[in-house]
Amino acid sequence: MLRLLKLELQKLLLSRTSKILIFVSFILPFTVLILSSIKIDFFGYFTLELGELGIFNFPIIWHITTFFASQFKFFFAIVVVSMIGNEYSNKTIKQNLIDGLSKKEFILSKFSTIVFFSLVATILIGVASLLIGLYYSSYTEVGIIFRETEFLLAYFLKLVAFFSLCLFFGMLVKRSAFALAFLFILYILEWITFGLITWQTNVDTASNIQRFFPLHSMYKLIDQPFQRIMLTKFPDKAEFFYDYGVHWYEILIVLTWTAVFVFLSYKLLKKRDL
């Protein structure tokens, strides 16, 4: 596996565009560090500092940082689909197979790269969240600091699943732009399907079915934290209560989709005449 990872990293680092996109995909999530230091001066009457509002307290910070960091995954998605598009356009996929790389190893090399970058991104966000929390949080107990770090696991799995979907679309259409377009089409189709199910049944039934959709299941791993932030300010407001936790069945659904995308990618390559 390490040999396959090194082979793929060498390819990526030879491409200037890939290096820039990888750099951007790692840097942009750290805008949360900038947010933590923002101070807004209201005409000299008072200064609002986001870091002092309590939103970077433990354990809520794990939820907030992973949610916002996951919004920037599109940049590395471009790298993933480019990995496949370049293999076909440059004919390197055929050369790799001629040189002795099996089709299974080819897919594993792509997937190992996905796992590697997802792990690096998770570690970076974890360290950044810990440092911000230690600076701003009023809670210093170890038990509170590391409570809800399951959001980091959810963040890692969310990246792996999303990039595995990009891998599948890249294998399916062989072109980066078309693969990215398929992501948008899938997003639209999921909401159209949700609307049709709602029309035929009801919202509750449609929502229960929607949690099994690929993109929506990834999103549900880390729910939006906005209501939770409001709860910290207005704890008696019952309308703000909602289930924001990371659940085992949500993880299982996403892991299943990840396995399906990787398997389908392999089956496409296996059947395709190169």
Quickly count: other Cβ atoms within 10 Å of residue 171's Cβ.
23
Residue 17, phi-psi category: left (phi > 0), alpha (psi -120 to 50), beta (remainder):
alpha
What's the confidence (pLDDT) of residue 46?
46
Confidence of residue 153 (pLDDT cuts 50, 70, 90): very high
Residue with tokens 């919004």: 71
- Decide: 47 and 37 in contact? Cβ < 8 Å: no
Please state the domain count of the chain: 1
Find the angle CA(251)-CA(253)-CA(256) to the nearest 5 degrees: 105
How far is residue 121's CA from residue 155's CA, in Å, rounded to a whole number?
9
What's the confidence (pLDDT) of residue 36?
57
What's the confidence (pLDDT) of residue 173?
86
- Residue 193 sits in which domain range? 2-271
Q: How much of the chain, in percent, has pLDDT values that exceed 90?
A: 41
Q: pTM score, two decimals?
A: 0.90
